Amino acid sequence: MAIVFEKTKGLTDKPTHYCPGCTHGIIHRLVAEAMVELGVLDNAIGVAPVGCSVLAYDYFNCDMQQAAHGRAPAVATGIKRVHPDNFVFTYQGDGDLASIGTAEIVHVAHRGEKFSTIFVNNAIYGMTGGQMAPTTLIGQKATTSPYGRDEATTGKPIRMSEMLATIDGAAFVERVAVNTPANIRKAKKAILECFKVQLEGRGFGIVEVLSTCPTNWGITPVEAMKWLENNMIPYYPLGNFKKPGEVE
Amino acid sequence: MAKAKGNVTFEEDLCKGCGLCVTVCPVNIISLDKGRLNKKGYYPAGIEEMDKCIACVNCATVCPDLVITVERL
Amino acid sequence: MTKVLMKGNEAVGAAAIAAGCRFFFGYPITPQNEIPEYMSRELEKAGGVFVQAESEVAAINMVYGASGSGARVMTSSSSPGIALKQEGISYIAGAELPCVIVDMMRGGPGLGSIQPAQGDYFLATRGGGNGDYRMLVLAPANVQELVDLVIEGFDLADFYRSPVMILGDGMIGQMMEPVEFKTETKHDLPVKDWATVGTGGKRKPNIINSLYLQAEDLENHNIKLQKKFAKMRENEKRVETYNTKDADLVLTAYGTTSRIAKTAISKLEKEGYKVGLIRPISLYPFPNEAYEEIGENVKAVLTIEMSAGQMIDDVRLSLNGKIPTYFYGRTGGMVPTPEEIVDKVKEILGGDK
């Protein structure tokens, strides 16, 4: 009899405050497992900015810095420039990275800063109660788009991965989802690859993880996974947009 | 080839009753116990027919709360 | 030690490197561009890292990250850019991180002008960002003092685990004076065992944070911060005084304005007036005792600032109604002349000598 799945030591014992069915729990676990598997947990420094996951500093079992909304990439730049041999990551939501933080994320890709970003995209501002985000879909109802997002006045949702992949300093860009066990396993692979790009010193890496927010979408966790599949994946296609070439 | 068999343990008081594990089990043996509440006040997930478990690990993979440990027999 | 003739802004960079600062994150803005330019030339030679950030906002957050990771780090800007940094500075103060922030003030509000001003006194000494915090604010009046305060600023930042602001202006940033770099430290600096450097598997994670969701926890944190500021008030007041006991009138000014005041004093003394000077060097903590000790027969205190009147609030609080107070200021980047100050003093004293 062999244990084939148990709790990773990359996470602390503290039960999370996340809502039932929130995909943060899954993604935290994948990030923590990846750090343990690559042997970088003891050397890791993470940055958790404002959002539901601001309390990630209580869950990841490594040194953490809490950052202002959108500023995690700048904070991580400061950390990685001081400690280039440490493993540095940011863990950001869409209200953070794709709104107030667009300058910071574009410029770390532009400068090719050698850390990794996990971008949790659930098309809404979760922590503050469900406001429309730049990633909210057309027609999607949120507390600041109560009649459904209207393209004429608010534009179309922003596709961060495609945009960041056009920047040379971005060495790894992939979009994954965590709505099924199969997709979760693929997401884990992408996260490992992204982290390896940092360890090989190849440049900036980001994994965009399509996620759910059952509470603010107003549906059950199980329905939310289906909603992600039927509505988000068609607009935000999964796949790799950039990865480094072969090492010579 | 003999089918894999598994033993799954649920740390019940961590469960938030989200129901994701129920939907991903290929042999449909997980259910939320609507007859009682755990310490958090949720219907906890559990397995009645453990002998049907094939140790696919889908449940643990999708659980956001580290409730589940899987052993392969 | 031989002195070197240096421009203020460049001397800031050299002083920081002399103090062991190896990380600089900045952004271009007049009139302090020579600071990032100097750092971009010299910091890597000293084994450090220079990053021109995409904005002052990004720069202050890079400072937060680097400081949280245990490094000596500096940023610089001018008034509009310092305004952008307020969120970051509040976070740095809340998370109790050390750093040096140099503000070469210019005319405001808004985009303002590029000429020197002293309109950031409130911003610097009242916090500037959100919440109850203060930071050490030091105001040099010449380039040597600028160098000394930058060097000591790093020690003070580490000692108190606090941001330290060096408040200069366009004049002191651009002028050239001879300087030497003295780096003996006066403080016993503790090891930064709170920094995020990786746990090494040997300790619990260190967390750099300013968020406390429980109000009771945040209140306790604030009480702790207030005790720190009380210690600053006990130990870090710095002031230069001249003839405050039996002058007819005492001038008070800081930074380059104080030099203009000194010229005015010499002119007035030649005409038989007895004029004193109080020159605060620390703006927070404010050297209020110097004002309390003004002689009983002093008829007036005249505050001179390159602003519409900001330090004068602290002067009034210190004087507590004891002596009539007056104000003379220029705004917009205009610099007062010694003659204007002489005239104002004569007006106040009504021709009495």
Q: Are residues C39 and C167 in the same domain?
A: yes
Judged against a pLDDT cut of 50, whether residue A215 lies above it is answered with yes
Mean pLDDT (whole number) for B5-18: 96
Structure tokens at B62: 């999708």
| Tokens 């810095």 -> residue | A65
Class of domain B6-72: alpha beta
Q: Which domain holds residue C228?
A: 4-235
Task: Give the model's confidence band at A176: pLDDT under 50 very low, under 70 low, under 90 confident, else very high.
Answer: very high
| Upstream peptide bond of C31 is cis (omega within 30 degrees of 0) | yes
pLDDT of residue A246: 60
Q: Are residues C119 and C41 in the same domain?
A: yes
Strand partners, C113: none
Among B65, B69, B72, the strongest candidate for a mutation testing the A interface, having the largest count of A CBs within 10 A, is: B65
> What is the Cα–Cα distance from C96 to B32, expressed in whole angstroms?
46
Task: Give the model's confidence band at C351: pLDDT under 50 very low, under 70 low, under 90 confident, else very high.
Answer: low
Q: Are residues C199 and C280 in the same domain?
A: no
Q: Are residues C273 and C290 in the same domain?
A: yes
B21/chain A closest Cα distance in angstroms:
9
Do residue C210 and residue A104 have CB atoms under 8 angstroms apart? Answer: no
Facing A63 at nearest CB: one of C87, C91, C196: C196
- Among A90-99, A173-182, B51-60, C181-190, name the one with the lowest average pLDDT: C181-190
Domain boundaries, chain B: 6-72
Judged against a pLDDT cut of 50, whether residue C28 lies above it is answered with yes
Q: What is the pLDDT of residues A58-74, one digit of tens each?
A: 999 999 999 999 999 99
Cβ-Cβ contacts under 8 Å, B20 against chain A: 21, 221-222, 225
Q: What is the pLDDT of residues C7-17, one digit of tens each?
A: 999 999 999 99
Query: Which residue type does C240 have?
Result: E
Q: What is the pLDDT of residues A136-147, one digit of tens each?
A: 999 999 999 999
C-alpha distances (whole Å) from C254 to each of C8, C81, C175, C239, C257 are 16, 22, 17, 9, 6
What three-state secondary structure class fits C253?
Answer: coil
C325 contact partners, CB below 8 Å, separation of at least 6 = C300, C301, C302, C303, C312, C315, C316, C319
Do residue A20 and residue B66 have CB atoms under 8 angstroms apart? Answer: no
Class of domain A24-242: alpha beta
pLDDT of residue A247: 52
Interface residue A65 vs chain C (CB under 8 A): yes
CA gyration radius for chain B?
12
Interface residue A43 vs chain C (CB under 8 A): yes
Mean pLDDT (whole number) for B34-43: 96
C188 contact partners, CB below 8 Å, separation of at least 6 = none
> What is the Cα–Cα distance from A25 to C258, expressed in whole angstroms?
59
Judged against a pLDDT cut of 70, whether residue C338 lies above it is answered with yes
Partner chains of B (3+ C-beta pairs under 8 Å) = A
pLDDT of residue C186: 80
Q: Are residues C226 and C247 in the same domain?
A: no
Do residue C65 and residue A65 have CB atoms under 8 angstroms apart? Answer: yes
Cβ-Cβ contacts under 8 Å, C211 against chain A: 54, 66
Judged against a pLDDT cut of 50, whether residue C47 lies above it is answered with yes
Strands C163-169 and C136-138: parallel
Name the residue of chain C whose CA is nearest to A44's CA: C198
Partner chains of C (3+ C-beta pairs under 8 Å) = A
Q: Are residues C43 and C87 in the same domain?
A: yes
Strand partners, A240: A174
Q: Are residues C14 and C54 in the same domain?
A: yes
Cα–Cα nearest to C133, from C222, C231, C218, C230: C222
What ipTM was predicted for this assembly? 0.94
B and A interact (at least 3 Cβ pairs within 8 A): yes
Cβ-Cβ contacts under 8 Å, B55 against chain A: 4
Walk across the sheet containing A2-5 and list its strands.
A2-5, B68-72, B6-10
A239/chain B closest Cα distance in angstroms:
20
Q: What is the CATH number of the domain that holds C156?
A: 3.40.50.970
Facing A225 at nearest CB: one of B20, B55, B65: B20
pLDDT of residue A248: 45
Partner chains of A (3+ C-beta pairs under 8 Å) = B, C
Judged against a pLDDT cut of 50, whether residue C56 lies above it is answered with yes
> What is the Cα–Cα distance from C208 to C215, expressed in whole angstroms?
18
The crossing angle, in degrees rounded to 10, of helices C215-235 and C86-94 is 90
DSSP letter string, C119-187 = TTHHHHHS-SSSSS---EEE--SSHHHHHHHHHHHHHHHHHHTSEEEEEEEHHHHH-EEEE-------S
Cα–Cα nearest to B24, from B67, B71, B68, B63: B63
Interface residue A104 vs chain C (CB under 8 A): yes
Mean pLDDT (whole number) for C163-167: 98
Q: How many CB pairs under 8 A join A and C?
A: 133
C-alpha distances (whole Å) from A241 to each of A160, A174, C84, C104, C105 are 11, 6, 34, 44, 45
Domain boundaries, chain A: 24-242
Judged against a pLDDT cut of 60, whether residue A154 lies above it is answered with yes
Judged against a pLDDT cut of 70, whether residue B1 lies above it is answered with no
Cβ-Cβ contacts under 8 Å, A222 against chain B: 18-20, 22-23
Judged against a pLDDT cut of 60, whether residue A108 lies above it is answered with yes
pLDDT of residue C187: 85
> What is the Cα–Cα distance from A63 to C197, expressed in whole angstroms?
7
Interface residue A75 vs chain C (CB under 8 A): yes
| Tokens 């939501």 -> residue | A93
Q: Are residues C228 and C245 in the same domain?
A: no
Do residue A79 and residue C73 have CB atoms under 8 angstroms apart? Answer: no
pLDDT of residue C331: 97
A213/chain C closest Cα distance in angstroms:
22
Cβ-Cβ contacts under 8 Å, A79 against chain C: 65-66, 68-69, 196
- The whole-chain average pLDDT of chain A stands at 96
Mean pLDDT (whole number) for C319-326: 96
C-alpha distances (whole Å) from C139 to each of A81, A110, C120 are 30, 37, 12
Mean pLDDT (whole number) for C85-97: 98
B28/chain A closest Cα distance in angstroms:
15
pTM reported for the whole predicted model: 0.94
Do residue B64 and residue A26 have CB atoms under 8 angstroms apart? Answer: yes
Q: Are residues C57 and C138 in the same domain?
A: yes
Judged against a pLDDT cut of 70, whether residue A44 lies above it is answered with yes
A50/chain C closest Cα distance in angstroms:
10
Do residue C207 and residue A62 have CB atoms under 8 angstroms apart? Answer: no
Facing C205 at nearest CB: one of A62, A68, A77: A62
pLDDT of residue C261: 98
Q: What is the pLDDT of residues C194-247, one digit of tens each?
A: 999 999 999 999 999 999 999 999 999 999 999 999 999 999 999 999 999 989
Q: Domain boundary at C214, C235, C256, which?
A: C235
Cβ-Cβ contacts under 8 Å, C209 against chain A: 57, 64-66
Judged against a pLDDT cut of 80, whether residue A160 lies above it is answered with yes
Mean pLDDT (whole number) for A84-97: 97
Judged against a pLDDT cut of 60, whether residue A87 lies above it is answered with yes
Q: What is the pLDDT of residues C297-314, one digit of tens each?
A: 999 999 999 999 999 999
Judged against a pLDDT cut of 70, whether residue A12 lies above it is answered with yes
| Exposure b/e, C256-294, CB count within 10 A at least 16 = b | bbbbbbbebbebbeeeebbbbbbbbbbbbbbbbebbeeb
Judged against a pLDDT cut of 80, whether residue C109 lies above it is answered with yes
B43/chain A closest Cα distance in angstroms:
11
- Total tally of structural domains belonging to chain C: 2
Judged against a pLDDT cut of 70, whether residue C323 lies above it is answered with yes
Question: What percent of chain C is modeled with pLDDT above 90?
Answer: 95
Q: What is the pLDDT of residues C132-150, one digit of tens each?
A: 999 999 999 999 999 999 9
- The whole-chain average pLDDT of chain C stands at 96
pLDDT of residue C352: 53
